[in-house]
Amino acid sequence: MTDILQKRLIAIDILRGLIIVLMALDHTRDFWGAAGFNPTDLSQTTPAWFFTRWVTHFCAPLFVFLTGVSAMLYSQKLESKAQLRNYLLSRGLWLIVLEIAVINLSWQVGYSFTFVQVIWVLGMSMVILSGLIYLPKRWILALTLPFLLLHNAIDDNAVAAALGSADWLWKILHMSHGITLDSINHRIIVVYPLIPWFSVMALGYVIGELFLKPQPQRQKTLLLIGSGMVLAFIVLRATGLYGDSSVYQSQDTVLFSILSFINTTKYPASLQFILMTIGPGLILLALLDKVNVEGKIYPALHWLKVFGSVPLFFYLIHVPVINASAHLYTWLRYGEAVNFFGGISAAPEGYEPSLLLAFIAWAGLVALLYYPCKQFGLLKRRSNNLILSYL
């Protein structure tokens, strides 16, 4: 990969590092600040709880999108489409295995049930993208964008009813729902159904070609697309015409009216949700690209690049660390180790949710994982080991 292209990747790594750190905040809150209510439920939440959850909404969309961008840029160092296909296919299947076999264990400390979320949908989207890369970019958009733009018009219950005993297929594709496997008495929870996430990755793959363009052109285009998405979100949300199952409703205060306006549906991800998150992300990516090229504030952002260059490694180790540390903390304070993955019902007597505690634990987590991530990044760049390339 040329030095020029490598420098353009720095902005992507910084943005990816930022969303990974924010993702860790959400997961830390799950174990260190279990509140017993949905932080985006306006009838129960406070602005602090709401924004702590809401800001992490940017993580999954941008992570999936940037994976598509990275796939496009990675193709520039390969000799054929077949190599890219094999990479996407093998890595995608590997992510699905990790989600089911490793990540489920790190969250639950067991296998009470199986849940599939962002790592699974990344893997499945990469598998789909591996078959799309042979098409011209305009055909990739023509085949995938309709799923992103039109999926909110689908009546999930009607489709599931029409499929009958095969309704599990639609639950995987578009309903955040549980699937019961009666034969083995096991339940699968589909947190991230496949639609529209593979469309988001395909969009990232197509837009990733901008990073092959001269700096002014790519930055201008990123700003235009991002601003257009933000404007489309505002229009759709304000009018309530289309794009989300929840409708904006004016609240008693201006602040809560704003919360209602940005409180879009993530499961499954609505069109408004995607526009609300990807749009600002593209604007920020353009700005990061600009300051990186001009060298104004890059040194201050280097620590984010460290995390952004090893995203899967960070993901695999951060949940066990959060879970284990929360178990240790509750054991020391309450006399019993509690796994808050089971919800607030598992809380010991005297427990009170503390957002401040969650933030302190989050800061400690980020500081603790910085050095391992930095060393692993150095090791990965120096080594040609196949296993390391998949972490």
Strands 114-116, 186-190: parallel, antiparallel or unpaired by DSSP?
parallel
pLDDT level of residue 297 (50, 70, 90 thresholds)? low
pLDDT band (50, 70, 90) for residue 232: very high
Condensed to tens digits (0 to 9), the pLDDT of residues 250-274 reads 999 999 999 999 999 999 999 999 9
Dist CA 37 CA 59 (whole Å): 21
Report the pLDDT value the prediction gives residue 294, as an integer from 0 to 100.
52
Integer Cα distance of 13 and 377 in angstroms: 12
pLDDT-based confidence at residue 331 (cuts at 50, 70, 90): very high
Q: Report the pLDDT value the prediction gives residue 218, as an integer from 0 to 100.
A: 92
Per-residue model confidence as pLDDT tens digits over 56-69: 999 999 999 999 99
The model's confidence at residue 295, banded by pLDDT at 50, 70 and 90, is: low
Contacts 24+ apart (CB under 8 A), 90-94: 90/390, 91/123, 91/126, 91/390, 92/122, 92/123, 92/124, 92/125, 92/126, 92/127, 92/129, 92/130, 93/123, 93/127, 94/123, 94/390
| Confidence at residue 340, expressed as pLDDT on a 0 to 100 scale | 86
- Among 37-41, 193-197, 380-384, the minimum mean pLDDT is found in 380-384
Q: How far apart are CA 360 and CA 283, in angstroms?
A: 30
Q: pLDDT by residue (tens digit) across 160-174?
A: 999 998 999 999 999
pTM: 0.94
Task: Quote the mean pLDDT of the chain.
Answer: 91
pLDDT band at 203 (very low <50, low <70, confident <90, very high): very high
